[in-house]
């Protein structure tokens, strides 16, 4: 039996066809309470989704049929659910609030996790108190994170989102192989007061090493070779390569195979964030994620925020035909959230082969895109409202006005509410056809009480678990990324080719056309 021929899937198809016969009454005020989940300072309201009271129970039946509770238990238990790489997916162990054992191959990983966290905390304290200084004796004032993918997007997002909690430190991020990226950052910082954090599990990632060596040359030119050991630390597992670069092993912080890159903010990969906001705030970030972990593990599926968010996405993607999802944070500090979620969801679930090696035969991850409201309203919202494709949207807002600017905050949230209402309710009559809005365009509201480390941790864990649930339903592995590798291999081969060998090959000719 295939997924699409299964009883739960077929029941949803019948329900969809029935629902199309009657328009969803988005103007029914009772929907605001019926389709709402609130937990620990975070709210998911899905009153503006194209669902009825019968939809969610049918979606929950699909989750049960696909054994979501069993896969959830296996993930938290440390089973090697990343079967293609024979690895566990234990990022949740990094934010546990207790020391209850978490076993991997019959070995409790928590002592190792706590030891690493204690080393990181001690280093953060040393840097922030000025005990650890640069080569000239000056305290650090700038942190430069050099990484890419999960070694960049998570820390970059968290650093910007939690900027009000940073004191005395500027945090910069370099990821692009384009030299302008590193040059632009180096132009802004004082070498005597800059600490570089190089994040690469293997310490061989091409873009990261290009930028790290450029930063190293710049520092040596300014302060001499001896400055490297005071101004560079690494997050890696490759001790030999780290030491060859000039970083002492005691200044290398660990990564684990059982933590995927896009799930690694909670580990030493978040070192730059910890340096910026301090240990207490970083622990609050972990605690928020742990709170969402507990909710995900214990709440009934029908009121489980990550499960419901995932199921609504399944409904829109597989039953209503939506091929994209807009991520719309109405908060400047969350401006990097769409890019972060692009990697989380599209790298995890952008696959067309099941865990068993068969073609899926059904759609998986939609295309994610987005930007901040109200900026995006003057960009692509026209297509959301009146375009030929139905594009669901997640609107993410913050209830608290941190800056005590009520005029700005009221305008921001008013615009968010208005956009959701216009998408759902539309406008049926107008003087010109161009002014008619069809309505019926689905969206979620995700509302944070405030944007602090704790709620940010909750928000990111919410989307992590949403992504995992969808992967289980689609019968794909969310924790590998084989599709990323081919382009890397071809790029390295082309870059290293300095002869005319293979000149007749299409890629060889193409490269020479670009770079004679």
Please state whether beta strands 324-329 and 367-370 pair in parallel, antiparallel, or not at all (unpaired). parallel
Q: Tell me if residue 131 is catalytic.
A: no
The gap from C-alpha 259 to its chain's centroid, in whole angstroms, comes to: 14
Contact 398, 331 (CB under 8 A): yes
Tokens of 496: 């290293």
Tokens of 46: 């899905």
Count the residues in the chain: 516
- SS3 of the chain: helix, strand, coil, percent, to 5: 50, 10, 35
Which one from 188, 378, 408, 492 is the annotated catalytic residue? 378
Tokens of 222: 């300014």
Which one from 131, 450, 488, 492 is the annotated catalytic residue? 488
**C-alpha span between 189 and 170 (Å, rounded):** 9
Q: Tell me if residue 332 is catalytic.
A: no
Which one from 91, 201, 295, 347 is the annotated catalytic residue? 347
- Which residues share a beta bridge with 143? 171, 195
DSSP state, residue 193? G
Tokens of 184: 């632009």
Tokens of 237: 């597992």
Q: Tell me if residue 33 is catalytic.
A: no
Contact 256, 267 (CB under 8 A): yes
51: Cβ contacts below 8 Å, ≥ 6 apart? 24, 35, 312, 315
Give residue for tokens 């759902």: 424
**C-alpha span between 358 and 337 (Å, rounded):** 32
Catalytic residues, which ones?
347, 378, 488
């Amino acid at each position: 039996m295939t997924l699409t021929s299964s009883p739960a899937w077929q029941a949803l198809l019948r329900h969809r066809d029935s629902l199309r016969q009657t328009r969803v009454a988005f103007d029914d005020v009772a929907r605001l309470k019926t389709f709402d989940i609130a937990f620990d300072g975070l709210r998911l309201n899905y009153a503006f989704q194209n669902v009825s009271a019968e939809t969610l129970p049918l979606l929950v039946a699909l989750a049960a049929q696909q054994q979501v509770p069993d896969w959830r238990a296996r993930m938290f238990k440390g089973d090697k659910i990343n079967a293609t790489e024979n690895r566990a997916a234990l990022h949740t162990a990094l934010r546990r609030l207790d020391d209850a054992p978490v076993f991997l191959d019959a070995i409790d990983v928590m002592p190792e996790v706590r030891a690493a966290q204690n080393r990181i905390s001690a280093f953060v304290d040393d840097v922030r108190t000025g005990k650890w200084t640069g080569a000239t004796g000056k305290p650090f004032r700038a942190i430069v994170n050099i990484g890419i993918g999960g070694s960049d997007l998570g820390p970059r997002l968290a650093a910007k989102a939690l900027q009000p909690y940073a004191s005395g430190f500027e945090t910069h991020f370099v990821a692009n192989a384009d030299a302008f990226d590193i040059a632009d950052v180096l132009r802004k910082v004082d070498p005597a007061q800059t600490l570089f954090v190089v994040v690469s599990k293997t310490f061989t990632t091409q873009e990261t090493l290009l930028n790290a060596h450029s930063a190293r040359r710049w520092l040596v030119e300014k302060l001499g070779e001896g400055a490297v050991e005071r101004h560079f630390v690494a997050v890696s597992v490759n001790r030999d390569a780290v030491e060859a670069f000039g970083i002492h092993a005691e200044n290398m912080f660990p990564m684990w195979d059982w933590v995927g890159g896009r799930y690694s903010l909670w580990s030493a990969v978040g070192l730059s964030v910890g340096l910026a906001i301090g240990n207490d705030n970083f622990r609050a970030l972990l605690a928020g994620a742990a709170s969402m972990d507990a909710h995900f593990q214990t709440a009934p599926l029908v009121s489980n925020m990550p499960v419901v968010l995932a199921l609504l996405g399944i409904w829109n993607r597989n039953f209503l035909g939506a091929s994209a999802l807009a991520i719309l944070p109405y908060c400047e500090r969350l401006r990097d959230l769409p890019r972060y979620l692009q990697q989380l969801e599209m790298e995890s679930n952008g696959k067309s082969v099941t865990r068993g090696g068969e073609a899926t035969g059904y759609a998986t991850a939609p295309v994610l895109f987005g930007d901040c409201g109200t900026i995006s309203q003057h960009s692509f919202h026209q297509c959301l409202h009146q375009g030929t494709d139905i594009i669901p949207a997640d609107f993410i807002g913050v209830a608290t006005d941190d800056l005590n600017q009520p005029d700005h905050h009221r305008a921001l949230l008013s615009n968010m509410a208005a956009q959701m209402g216009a998408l759902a309710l539309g406008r049926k009559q107008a003087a010109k056809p161009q002014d008619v809005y069809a309505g019926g365009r689905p969206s979620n509201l995700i509302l944070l009480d405030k944007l602090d480390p704790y709620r940010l941790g909750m928000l990111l864990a919410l989307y992590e678990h949403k992504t995992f649930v969808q992967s289980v339903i689609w019968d794909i592995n969310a924790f590998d990324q084989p599709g990323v590798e081919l382009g890397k291999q071809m790029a390295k081969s082309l870059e290293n080719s300095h002869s005319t060998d293979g000149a007749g090959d299409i890629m060889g000719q193409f490269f020479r056309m670009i770079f004679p």
